[in-house]
Amino acid sequence: MSDLKEGDLAPAIEASDENGELITLAEYRGKKVVLYFYPKDNTPGCTAEACDLRDNYSQFIEQGFEIIGVSADSEKSHQKFKNKYGLPFRLISDADKKVLQD
């Protein structure tokens, strides 16, 4: 598969978020979504990126965007990462790297 570019339609995604709840992109159909992929929770670059999105979250919401993060970390790791930095958006756990490879 070719790399996604800004504005491309994302592939169908069905995975668990940090709370073990199923998340699909179909539930966001017709909405603007910032789907961002990152290597690992609690690394300097990934933490800076997540905190920047957190700090600007209200502006994204005001403009009609929702943010969803995706990495291969476990749900438990995502819970800790989200709680530690007060992230207001969902994080998809893709431990089997199915979403990352699509």
Active site residues: 46
Q: What is the number of alpha carbons within 13 Å of residue 23 lying toward its C-beta?
A: 21
Give how far Cα 66 sits from Cα of 2, 8, 46, 80, Å.
Answer: 24, 16, 18, 21
**Residue 93: closest CA among 33, 21, 13, 17:** 17
